[in-house]
Structure 1
Amino acid sequence: MKLAVAIPCYKVRAQILGVIAAIPPSVQRIYVVDDCCPQESGKLVQDQCTDPRVRVIFHEQNQGVGGAVRTGYRAALEEDMHIVVKVDGDGQMDPALIPHFTRAIERGKADYTKGNRFYRPESLKGMPPIRLFGNAALSFVNKLSTGYWSIMDPTNGYTAIHTAVLRELPLHKLEQRYFFESDMLYHLNTMRAVVHDVPMDSVYADEESSLRVSKVLPEFLVKHINRFFKRYVYLYLLRDFNLGSLYSLLGLLLCAVGVLFGGWQWWRSSMTGLPASSGTVMVAALPLIIGIQFLIAFLHHDVERVPTEPLSLDLTDVETGASANPIER
């Protein structure tokens, strides 16, 4: 299978040549995307890198890490690559791990792989506490919004994807900035693609990062909530109506009845000064308790529906490695 690497470049002049030099020979193509870098990282690669695999692509305007990766993806699709690995140009991602990211895809066990810095306690050494807290908090919210309940470290940008699946993704709809990786997981789940985590260590050296957890955390939470409701409506109401749909609707209805009836009785008691009877309390509490149980059952159903059959096996002719559906949306 033909492997390609996409490297978004923004303020990585000091690290980019070392990252390219460390990419293993099993990779056939390297796309260096200069995202309007003020340090002219792309020009540096053009002038000093002699690796024939390298193709430098320039953005006239900064599009963010997601926009740069999308450009690399499109280049890989144009040149009929089979797997595209995304590696940052700041030296945080060891290119020697590329075979670990492509192995599950090559063996037909996954459509998309991503790094997980939380797999081993030793891997967290060197991670700044604020990033550790932010990633841990967002990991749980990400499970709700994307439906990948076994996936951790959703903001990890070390990824690999089969181009047969990539062709089916609406690339123009993917987020351009730091929410790109999480948005990718959301879209992959709506396609029912199989995602695997790859254990890796966190590396923090002298790279310059413009990511501020205190700034993006509220933004990420809002977007995750938005993706959860969109995924729910699409997978449980529009595409299918299943037992999970019934659990969720009954749960919400019963919780609403319990809260509204209980609230009305509380207001009535506060106005009259008469305490509610035990029977009234039970009538208010019972729907709420049963409704919560239904919602827990819905979450259990959602966990069991994590995709397990790789899409790439159906979308790709295994013998020839040619895409069965070459039309890019």
Structure 2
Amino acid sequence: MAETIAAKNDITIAPRTRESKWKSVYRSRWFYLMMIPGLLYYVIFHYAPMAGTLIAFQNYNIMKGIWGSPWVGFDNFRVIFDSPDFMRILRNTLEISILKIIGSMIPDVILAIMLNEVRVRWFKRWVQTITYGPYFLSWVIIYGLVFSFLAPSSGLISTFVRDMGWGQIDLLTNKDFFRPLLIITEIWKNTGFGAIIYMAALATINQELYEAAVVDGAGRGRQLWHITLPGIRDVFVLLLIIRIGGILDAGFDQIFIFLNARVYDTGDIIDTWVYRYGFERLEFGVAAAMGVFKSLVGLILVLSANKVAKKMGGSGIW
């Protein structure tokens, strides 16, 4: 008898539940309509192109297309891993990426904290404008500025050193100076933008915490260590996880512009190698295979970094 009553209740409740869900969807119909452009963007430009990963397993022919090119299995991946350049470009990519993570995230935090301590509003806005301005410049323009200073024969600094009798310098083709040059220009270009993110995080810190710290006799150093830095920790960890996920993307635009034949040993990375294979040799299958390899490594790193961040008490990405 009880089972019969329960069954009847299930029969009567289910239609009402479905009906209430449809009513909820109908009430929120305008919100769903506003979601459509964003969903279409991701479907068209992010999910649909994923069909191109099939090229990684084909001897791709432009005339035959994706569906007509012959399948070669994992031959393209064997070409990558058997290449004598693979370990060199992988090492260069990892080293440059790690240097960029350390050399760009820490200056962002320092600049944000310094600006947060400034009480003169006009000076604070002036510094923000100056530091944020280079972010809008392309790497081509930045290389033009660097070239005007460091060109071996006509650069401002090179000419000054030569006229002073200190000898001839050629920093643009010096493989020992190539990576420091990348880090310096990266900091100059992107630090202002990165600081804005941390300043937004600093603005969310409850000011009563600072007032309570002052009452307890804490100085600026103690406030910084116990309030400011913990207040931006989650944002720092979030950005760090994202950067770790893209550790095999060392910054193609910048390196491709600055790269020359004399610094290949320290400056050639995965993306520039893919560019040569994909556009110069027209080996699209090999280039696509490298892209799949990078994506898998990035996925593993993001998942691992997120798990470590949660175990250390952070919020992670999800």
TM-score normalised according to structure 1 size: 0.24
Q: Which is helix-richer, 1 or 2?
A: 2
**Which one has the largest radius of gyration?**
2
Higher RCO by CA contacts (8 Å cutoff, separation 6 or greater): 2
Higher strand proportion (structure 1 or 2):
1
